Amino acid sequence: MLLLVGLGNPGPKYEKNRHNIGFMAVDEIVRRHSFSPFKAKFQGLIADGTLERTKGLVLKPATFMNESGRSIGEAMRFYKLAPGDVIVLHDELDLALGKVRARIGGGLAGHNGLRSIAQHIGPDFQRIRIGIGHPGDKARVHGHVLSDFSKSEFDVVKRLVDGIADAMPLLSKGDAGAFMSRVTLVVNPPNHNPKLKNKTVNTEGKNGI
């Protein structure tokens, strides 16, 4: 069994924030793969279904970002899961919008949601880093992640969450390379050249919320 966790902040105020792209991605997974409706449990919202032949649970913590680990830890204990069974989908400042990377473990990059999870279950969970781009200035990071995607960015965001949902069965089988290749193909199909009016800057800054 896999526990797929989307990170974000609950409530309509934050719904379209860059920080909530993890919620957007798991919502599309639930829709695309005909999971059950969400229900309140484990200090969050949970849905269950399958990714091909793999049993899956989708969790959206309702604890706000910096306490996400409490919800995840509670669900893990109930289902007797190991950290390696957990896949966390979260926003990543150090990747350009439209880019995705899959990995196990690694640094926290100043991300308070990841820090909370590591405190509750350790660092060895799987991560889907979903690029939102960096504003280019450390002082602007807080406002950047808590602001909505622009209209010009939403076309990329839609293809991105579609690609993640489409490719998730590949990751459920342990094929991270095929997962990332499939997402890239959906985001940038042949002969497609997306143009963003407001481009974000991809830097190596290690700041997050």
- What's the start-to-end Cα distance of the chain, in Å? 30
- Is 11 exposed, middle or buried (CB count within 10 Å of its CB: 0-12, 13-18, 19+)? exposed
Residue 193's H or E segment, with its range, is none
Q: Quick one: which of 177, 144, 132, 96 has its CA closest to 23?
A: 132
Contact predicate 64/44, CB 8 Å? no
Distances in Å between the Cα of 56 and the Cα atoms of 2, 142, 196 are 5, 33, 35
Residue 196: DSSP 8-state: -
Cα torsion through 172, 10, 119, 76, rounded to 10:
-50
- Is 192 known to be catalytic? no
Which of the following is catalytic: 19, 33, 90, 144?
19
- Residues noted as catalytic: 19
